[in-house]
Amino acid sequence: MTLSLNWRKWLSYAGIALVVGYCMAPFYWMLVSSLRRTSDIFDNSAWPSAFSLENYLAVIDPAHGFTRALLNSVVVAGVTTAAALVLATLTAYAMARLNFRFKRVVLTAIIATSMFPVVSIVVPLLKTFTDIGWINTYQAMIVPSMSFALPLAVWNLTTFFRQMPDELEHAAMVDGCTRGQAFRKVILPLAAPGIFTTAIITFIAAWNEFLIALTMTNKQEMQTAPVAISKFSGASQFETPFGSQMAAGVLVTVPLVVLVLVFQRRIVAGLTAGAAK
């Protein structure tokens, strides 16, 4: 029996290691490639023969405009997350607590809107934004991103609010709070883990968005980081700067990894909240 338990434990560890290795292998190769010299970029060894920071120095070169692109990504992802979170929190609470006809249909319609492929709405949005003068503006990237971030946030938070007992608001209203005060002073603090988790997921989705940002901008100073990486150019038109692209990819990915690692407890708490009563 003990031997069987040990084998199961080691198989579990091996499975976890396999999954972690599979997920981390692309990032590891990107990191290693970013530290190679340009002449060694096609070296297949698992470790650079000589470390070099020339790719990172090339990325922060003002000619690439990557620093401004990072700032643009922060603005777009931050505003998208904040706006989507405010609207989703109010909508989800109403969907979870209020009873009205066709509520399930409304919820289904909300989540269905996030399933449309981005390419299907890019052309009409491009025509609309061109007519109203929104091309090369932040709102041209934020508004379409919200159309995909908001349904996901509403769906997640609706499920979370449903798991919170109605007695919380009733007890607060017995003590003299209005419905709005009960929501603000009682429900929101208790819902913080779910809201925080939804914010992280929304921010990551907005940070990595590419097609909308590529379509709605044609000026270098308005490009987001993913678009800037795709437009890196080499010394000649026939050269692809793989090293610089790898270094830029690391700089884009590291903030998200750090964010998840720092707040992993809150994220896990939000994902598992309400799983047990």
The string of pLDDT tens digits covering residues 72-127 is 999 999 999 999 999 999 999 888 888 888 888 888 888 887 777 888 888 889 99
And the tokens for 156? Answer: 């997640």
Q: What is the pLDDT of residue 241?
A: 81
Per-residue model confidence (pLDDT) at position 76: 95
pLDDT at residue number 277? 42
Task: Find, among 233, 213, 212, 231, the residue nearest to 223 by Cα.
Answer: 213
Q: What is the residue whose two structure tokens read 């919200």? A: 146
Residues 164-188: pLDDT tens digits?
Answer: 888 888 888 888 888 888 888 888 8
Helix boundaries (H) for the chain: 2-34, 54-59, 66-97, 103-113, 118-131, 139-162, 167-174, 179-182, 188-190, 192-207, 211-216, 225-230, 242-262, 264-272
Which tokens belong to 158? 């609706």
CATH number of 65-231: 1.10.3720.10
pLDDT band at 226 (very low <50, low <70, confident <90, very high): very high
Distance CA 73, CA 50 (A): 32
User: What's residue 274's pLDDT?
Assistant: 47
What is the 3-state composition of the chain as percent helix, strand, coil, each rounded to the nearest 5?
75, 0, 25
pTM across the whole model: 0.84
pLDDT band at 225 (very low <50, low <70, confident <90, very high): very high
Question: Is 178 in contact with 254 (CB distance < 8 Å)?
Answer: no
Report whether 227 contacts 166 (CB < 8 A): no
pLDDT exceeding 70 applies to what percent of the chain? 91
CA pair distance 103, 121, nearest whole angstrom: 26
| pLDDT digits 0-9 by tens, 187-224 | 888 888 888 888 888 998 899 999 999 999 989 899 99
pLDDT at 130 over 80: yes
Predicted confidence (pLDDT) per residue in 256-276, tens digit: 888 777 776 766 665 555 444
Residue 1 pLDDT grade (very low, low, confident, very high; cuts 50, 70, 90) = low
| Confidence at 141, pLDDT banded by 50, 70, 90 | very high
* 239 pLDDT above the threshold of 80: no
**pLDDT averaged over the chain?**
84
pLDDT at 2: 54
pLDDT in tens, 39-54: 787 777 778 878 888 8
- Segment 245-260 shows an average pLDDT of 85
Q: Is 208 helix (H, G, I), strand (E, B) or coil?
A: coil
